[in-house]
Structure 1
Amino acid sequence: MQIRRKIELAFGVILCLLLLTAGQGLWMFIHTKSALGELRQAFSDVLLLDDLKVLIYRQAKEIPDYLTGHDPDAKEEFRSYAAQIAMRFHESDRLAGTPVQARYLGDLRRAYAAHARLADRIFRAYDSKQYRRALGLMEHDVENIALPALDQAVASLHRALYASSFERVMAQAQSFERTAQMVSLLAVLTTFGAGLLIFLWLSRGLVRPINALVEATREVGQGNLDIQGLPVSRDEIGELASAFSGMVQRIKHFQTQIVETEQMASIGATAVAVAHGLRNPLASVRALAQVALVEHESFPAVNESLHEIIAEVDRLNARISHLLTFAVPARLHPVSADLNDVIERVVADFQQIKPQQVVFALHLDPGLPSVQLDTVHMKEVLREIVLNALEAMPDGGDVRVATKRGEGPEGRPILILEVADTGRGIAVEALPHVFEPFYTTRADGTGLGLSIVRRLVEQQGGTVAVESHPGAGACVRLTFPLHEPGERM
């Protein structure tokens, strides 16, 4: 995951926490609004009851107004109030929220019904000219019985409403308080846990890899190129670590090349001195041996010894040339060449001198394009490889030479050349050292053949590798870059 994605994910988690906090605030607002609604409902119930009480008392006031004649329409107004009171009683059905409230509301209804019946008796008595009886009923029953009963019923219902409303509001407040505490605690724990996880995740994904890179940089700065523990990931830090590792590997390669160059310079100076000190005496020995051959032509035994002397001198000269070729860097003159043609020429030379038991098999891709090579040194490379193959098959065998196209690093096209034999193969412990200078497993070998091959191939931009299994032969694999038309080399 890229660093940008990690930061976006961390920001997303933080945004979720903010949304959680906002949700908590919204939840608290909703519950607070609900509690306020309960309070408003309680006040509305009390106001309804007070309005009912006021209407009943106003209705009761119409009785003396009717009896005293102050208001001839008092009886009709009494009935109008009765309709309003009936409507208020209908609305007050919601006040029976608890059994206690229902009982007190029933008491109020019964008290008002008794009051209404008493008022009806008073009106009938007054209308039938029983003024004294009507006045007595009003003064005794209405003022001393009916209205006090209504007052007591209203007061009881008031107390029940207040108690019920208070209990509901307090219960909701306590529930809200408990839930708010739990939600707040959960929000705090969630925020802390998420923050800790984000910190650990970012620390593991960013801080630790960066610290590892810083430590690796210090190690490289102190000259230690065997670094380990570089971060491995698919983000930019992983790419940086991979590039850093590649840079360190290139530094190690350059250091190795510098050491080898210094060694080669020392070997070159020694080789030139040795060649200069040996070639002149060897030339004299060879010349004297040839003169002796002419002078003692009639002595076969002497001639045989002289021929052996000349052969050994030639062998020493060949080894000196080998050493000089390895010690002194070759000057290349690359040209556009057909690698298949170079291979066919070298194999043709070997077919003239090869043992009878050796069979060459060519599998050359006819569609290969031309490649930039120094043909002279390329022939030398092929001769060294084929000679090694022949020496590995003293009893004969097959030598297979093949060319083909392939893909190199980053998918770039390459040309592949393989030379395989069916000889005794290379020992497992010797395989890692075959390209090292002066490393050989043969008593009469110089250990420079494959070293020269590697140098000449790498000077031409190629690579060389050897695969082998003891008893199953060996395969030398060379690769060279193929350049598209118009591409700079």
Structure 2
Amino acid sequence: HEIKNPLTPIQLSAERLKRKYADRLADDTGLFAQCTDTIVRHVGDIGRMVDEFSAFARMPAPVMAPADITKLVTDAVGLHRGAFADIEYSLTVPPDPVIVRCDGRQIGQAITNILKNAIEAISAKFGPGNDGGTAAGKVEVRLKADADKVEIEVADNGIGLPQSERHKLTEPYVTTRAKGTGLGLAIVKKIVEDHRGTLALSDAPNGGAIVKLIIPVTAGRADPRPEINVQAAQ
């Protein structure tokens, strides 16, 4: 709170300055707008980072209840499809609901984090923005289910996994991105552990990465500890 509390007045002050004075600076209107936009943008970045740190530090124990994994996956993909329309999405799910006893909110968060990583990897390879820079980006999401487990697979054609120390990718504060917090996959790992599942990271055949999240249908019961499998580069 001590870090985040000052961010709101800073952001509001910058936005107020822009609204009140932008049209009064005939010579430097562009520079003024650029500077205030920079303040607002970076304050927003800091706020999101603080939220991630707080979410990781305070992650509650899962509240187990029957949840439809098909809906969780479909909703997450739909949200990202709307926000990042330049990317091509492929979604394959069973025709019927896939009900698993789990914490639906946390599983939804894990799916969102994995999709966010995929989109960031695509942006790093093809370029950000809505000007067609990510038009070559592709995200394929598959949900499979059997009597024992459900498997959520997200494949992208982004920059791929790092060639060295990839076993550390699920550790807190380890990131390969300039603005990353290193908590996205760490949060996924924690959620997987709490559901006694398996998280696997591997190279996609034609470049990019594949992330698999496997949850046993007995996630709400006592089970052995999970494993985290980060495959070596081929």
Fold similarity call, TM over 0.5: yes
In the other structure, the counterpart of 2:109 is 380
Q: Larger relative CO (CA 8 A, sep 6+): 1 or 2?
A: 2
How far is the alpha carbon of 1:471 from its aligned partner?
6.1
Cα displacement string for residues 165-198 of structure 1 (whole angstroms, at most 9, x for unaligned residues)? xxxxxxxxxxxxxxxxxxxxxxxxxxxxxxxxxx
Given the superposition, is the C-alpha separation of residues 297 and 397 from structure 1 closer, same or farther in structure 2, using an over 3 Å criterion? closer
How far is the alpha carbon of 1:290 from its aligned partner?
2.6
Given the superposition, is the C-alpha separation of residues 488 and 350 from structure 1 closer, same or farther in structure 2, using an over 3 Å criterion? closer
1:428 aligns with 2:158: no
Maintained 8 Å contact 1:463/1:478 = yes
Bigger Cα Rg: 1
In the other structure, the counterpart of 2:145 is 405
In the other structure, the counterpart of 1:37 is none
Amino acid aligned to 2:69: L
The farther-off stretch of 439-448 and 285-294 is 285-294
Question: Following the alignment from structure 2 to structure 1, what is the Cα–Cα distance between the partners of residues 4 and 98?
Answer: 43
| Partner of residue 76 from structure 2, selected from 337, 346, 362 | 346
| Partner of residue 392 from structure 1, selected from 106, 121, 124 | 121
Amino acid aligned to 2:111: L
Maintained 8 Å contact 2:114/2:211 = yes
Output the TM-score relative to the length of structure 2. Answer: 0.78
In the other structure, the counterpart of 2:21 is 296
Alignment gaps of 5+ in structure 1: 1-275, 408-412
Q: CA RMSD, aligned part only?
A: 2.4
Question: Following the alignment from structure 1 to structure 2, what is the Cα–Cα distance between the partners of residues 369 and 448?
Answer: 28
| Aligned-partner SS, 2:54 | helix
Given the superposition, is the C-alpha separation of residues 332 and 420 from structure 1 closer, same or farther in structure 2, using an over 3 Å criterion? same
1:1-150 aligned within 5 A:
none
Maintained 8 Å contact 1:457/1:464 = yes
| Partner of residue 93 from structure 2, selected from 348, 364, 368 | 364
Maintained 8 Å contact 1:427/1:470 = no
How far is the alpha carbon of 1:464 from its aligned partner?
1.0
| Aligned-partner SS, 1:330 | coil
Question: Following the alignment from structure 2 to structure 1, what is the Cα–Cα distance between the partners of residues 85 and 90?
Answer: 15
How far is the alpha carbon of 1:401 from its aligned partner?
0.8
Question: Following the alignment from structure 2 to structure 1, what is the Cα–Cα distance between the partners of residues 66 and 60?
Answer: 19
Question: Following the alignment from structure 1 to structure 2, what is the Cα–Cα distance between the partners of residues 349 and 449?
Answer: 17
In the other structure, the counterpart of 1:215 is none
User: Which is helix-richer, 1 or 2?
Assistant: 1
Question: Following the alignment from structure 2 to structure 1, what is the Cα–Cα distance between the partners of residues 150 and 217?
Answer: 6
1:306 aligns with 2:36: yes
1:280 aligns with 2:8: no
Alignment gaps of 5+ in structure 2: 127-135, 223-234
1:201-216 aligned within 5 A:
none
Question: Following the alignment from structure 1 to structure 2, what is the Cα–Cα distance between the partners of residues 368 and 465?
Answer: 24
Maintained 8 Å contact 1:418/1:478 = yes
Question: Following the alignment from structure 1 to structure 2, what is the Cα–Cα distance between the partners of residues 278 and 437?
Answer: 20
> Structure 1 runs of 4+ off > 6 angstroms?
none
Cα displacement string for residues 211-263 of structure 1 (whole angstroms, at most 9, x for unaligned residues)? xxxxxxxxxxxxxxxxxxxxxxxxxxxxxxxxxxxxxxxxxxxxxxxxxxxxx
